[in-house]
Amino acid sequence: MVGRERISKKLKRCPTSNTFSLYNRAMKFRKLASYLDKLEKTSSRIEITKILADLFKKTDSNEIDTVIYLVLGQLAPSYKGVILNIAEKMMIRVLGRTYGRKDDEVMAAYKKAGDLGNVAQELGTGQKVQGTGLSVKDVHDELMKVARDGGEGSQERKIELLAGLLKKLDPLSSRFVARIPVGRLRLGFSDKTVLDALSWMETGGKTAKGDLERAYFVLPDVGLLAKNVKEKGIKKAVIEIKPVFGVPVLPMLAQRIKSPEEMIEKMGKISVEPKLDGLRLSIHYKKGGEVEAFTRNLNENSWMFPELQKIGVQINAREVILDCEAVGLDEETKAMANFQKTMTRRRKHEIEETLKKIGIEFFVFDILLKDGENLMTKPFAQRRKTLEETIKLGGVLKVVDSEATGDPERINELYRENIKKGFEGIIVKKVDAAYVAGRTGWRWVKMKQEATSSAKLADTIDAIVMGYSAGRGKRAGFGVGQFLVGVKDGEKVKTATKIGTGITDEKFRELRKRLEKIKTKEKPKEYEVHKDLYPDFWVVPSLVVEIAADEITVSPKHTAGLALRFPRLIRFRDDKSPKDATTLVELQSLFKMQKAP
């Protein structure tokens, strides 16, 4: 941190020091706002990348992490759980307090503009700005104060803090700062484009993109990665990356193959494990009882699992990072619960009651770090041996069964055995493969159907909800008739189907509540939608749903080029973020699989 106090002390020690110039070089927020304005007006992905690269070149290493968090509409990497979570109604009060307007005046302006940032800019035009202009770090520090404030009277304090901040900003800056607390900065890009821009900054192109991605998957803090790149260069920053306690590694993912013969052909020596219908967790344990648990969307959720406080007796190590699946157990029947029941642990106010109904076991299947040693580069067979030596049996940690085989028919037998036991299917793993964070490939494959199955679609789809249409008839009461979903294609989201049947009344009501919170007036920049498929209401890309369907068909209107036939909502995937959604490449792969004999 380079702050006024630290600089002042340095100046006292060394009067001729030029440290004061470092503070003077600190980027003013109004300069960042000018870049945000350019980004908002740009739809070309390559132009967005170039604008970001130019911004990063002009940003010092001591503040580039802060700049990156802010351009992403964040205050910190997602795994740190720093959120402002300010409701729109509260932000309307902030704007009223800032610009001396009544709340109903601000509300009227908001209904007309549809964007609180635009309202802030309009109300701030012509008003005198307090001070000489805040730096990027000043703005970030003030927003952090708002995020950290809690307890009795915190709402009024937050309003005062935000109003005080906006009064010190020029109209353009206020447009963007007013959007951040309500989660509406979205400029149509995510961490992926930032990585592209870092490559462009260093090399003038995307040649370093692959190296940066691999580093990011192990240490998913794009701000910290950028800081390291500025200080050390890309090569050194990437070489030094390894798993760190308290920082979630993006989980390794499985490819889909129906044929055991093809598995053997592509993977060689393999091992078979059950596929569980649970919550994927990265467990970080340090001797002395320090435990953290991260879901796939990088949220720290150890509060959901009080059982983890007792796992020290089962771990033969000072420090470990484990990859596992948390699976609920019905306390009456002692049978494995499905994903939805496991996820009832999310209800903080009912956690004690839920504990009595749904127990948890943690099925561990990999180990990434042990006592400071990076195990990700080791082959699976070696990691498995280390895992068995590390976990003592007899508690909530269970080491999943694993059987090595080279016989395709044995793979089918193991699939059928695991289905009978209540598992989703099997995971087949290449025994000499390293743990490659955030990647699919022929290292791990999942099998949820036998090759002889008559079902055409081999798996479900994790889709992003893009918008919805108002209900008609009975559904008018729900406020939702159909909703539009899509899949990822790079930073774009392309449509794949509309869903309006096979949904219970209860799910319709829950869907409406969720969609109301993320509704937006304008179509998000990253959406590609045929005009005939435009919904009545758009939503920001944040809700992921699991969809089943009978088959995938070619579509002339859906921008994915493919569509799901007879789609059905299975569940809300609160453990996944949009970046975890099914990709267009994966959808195309499933389409090819269903056509295979």
Active centre residues (catalytic)? 275
Q: How far is 424 from 232, CA to CA, in rounded Å?
A: 45
Q: How far is 568 from 547, CA to CA, in rounded Å?
A: 6
Our CA angle for 503, 504, 510, nearest 5°, is 95
The sign of the torsion formed by the CA atoms of 152, 155, 158, 164 equals negative
Q: How far is 253 from 286, CA to CA, in rounded Å?
A: 26
Do the beta carbons of residue 254 and residue 433 sit within 8 Å? no
Of all helices (H) and strands (E), which one includes residue 593?
A: helix 584-595
Q: What is the DSSP annotation of 419-481?
A: HHTT-SEEEEEETT----TT--SSSEEEESS-TT---S--S-EEEEEEEE----GGGGGTT-S
Q: How far is 543 from 580, CA to CA, in rounded Å?
A: 11
Q: How far is CA 440 from CA 444, 459, 558, 585, 597, in A?
A: 7, 15, 25, 11, 24
Q: What is the length of the chain?
A: 597
Q: Which two tokens stand for residue 78?
A: 């997602």
Cβ contacts of 276 within 8 Å, gap of 6 or more: 325, 327, 336, 363, 400, 423, 424
For the chain, helix (H) and strand (E) counts, in that order, are 22, 21
Do the beta carbons of residue 214 and residue 238 sit within 8 Å? yes
DSSP 315: B
CB neighbourhood size of 141 (10 A)? 16
Q: How far is 203 from 245, CA to CA, in rounded Å?
A: 31
Residue 479 CA to chain centroid, in angstroms? 28
Burial class of 100 by CB neighbour count within 10 A (0 to 12, 13 to 18, 19+): exposed
Cβ contacts of 267 within 8 Å, gap of 6 or more: 428, 430, 442, 443, 445
Residue 427 CA to chain centroid, in angstroms? 24
Q: How far is CA 416 from CA 10, 264, 272, 402, 408, in A?
A: 70, 18, 12, 15, 13
Burial class of 110 by CB neighbour count within 10 A (0 to 12, 13 to 18, 19+): buried
